[in-house]
Amino acid sequence: MAERWFLALWPDAETQDALLAQAAPWLPAGVRPSHARDLHLTLIFLGALDPPRLACVEAAAGRVRCEHFRLEIDRIGHFGRSRVMWCAPSRSPAALLGLVSGLQCALAACGLEPETRPYRPHLTLARKASQPVSGALREPVDWVARELVLAHGVPGARPRYRLHRRWPLIGADPPAPV
């Protein structure tokens, strides 16, 4: 099976653990929970990449600039068709949407077409979730996105994803919410 590449935001271990702790009461029996170190927020799914296209993606991602930004992960939900349980921010910061847009533009030089569906930021908590779930987390998880990551999946491994390259987001941390 070909490696599946993607660009993402990767929370630190403390944030990953906090997200799973908040989600635990929502997880029904029979789901396949994500490994804590696999929790991430995909920005752009790339699919299989040959070496020249991988090099192009790395160069393109390295040209995109974005400042640190804060995400408040405060809701939980379910994609029925794919049977995925997720958590997400209620509001997408402008910096997040700008980062995705900037990456899409930069990746056009690599021959990668932007996704036609609207961007729906989320972190996958579990798969094989057949029961609909929707609500607010008991306590929102505050996360400052500090880096862009290029990662790929390794079939059968746990954790499943490997970080290939990191680019720091620039600037000072945004102020904490009041």
Q: Are 64 and 101 in contact (CB under 8 A)?
A: no
What span, in angstroms and rounded, lies between the C-alpha atoms of 13 and 34? 14
Please give the average per-residue pLDDT across 97-124, as a whole number: 94
pLDDT digits (tens, 9 = 90+) for 71-107: 999 999 998 788 889 999 999 999 999 999 999 999 9
| Catalytic residue numbers, as ranges | 40, 122
Using the predicted structure, report yes or no on whether residue 44 has a pLDDT greater than 60.
yes
Looking from the CA of 53 toward its CB, the CA atoms found within 13 Å total 13
pLDDT of residue 1: 41
pLDDT of residue 80: 78
pLDDT digits (tens, 9 = 90+) for 123-153: 999 888 887 788 899 999 999 999 999 999 9
Domains of the chain, each with CATH number or no CATH: 5-168 (3.90.1140.10)
Using the predicted structure, report yes or no on whether residue 176 has a pLDDT greater than 70.
no
Q: Are 7 and 147 in contact (CB under 8 A)?
A: no
Q: Are 9 and 151 in contact (CB under 8 A)?
A: no
The residues facing 167 across adjacent strands are: 148
E-assigned strands of 23-168?
Answer: 32-33, 41-47, 69-79, 84-89, 123-127, 135-145, 147-153, 161-168
Contacts (Cβ under 8 Å, ≥6 apart) of 118: none
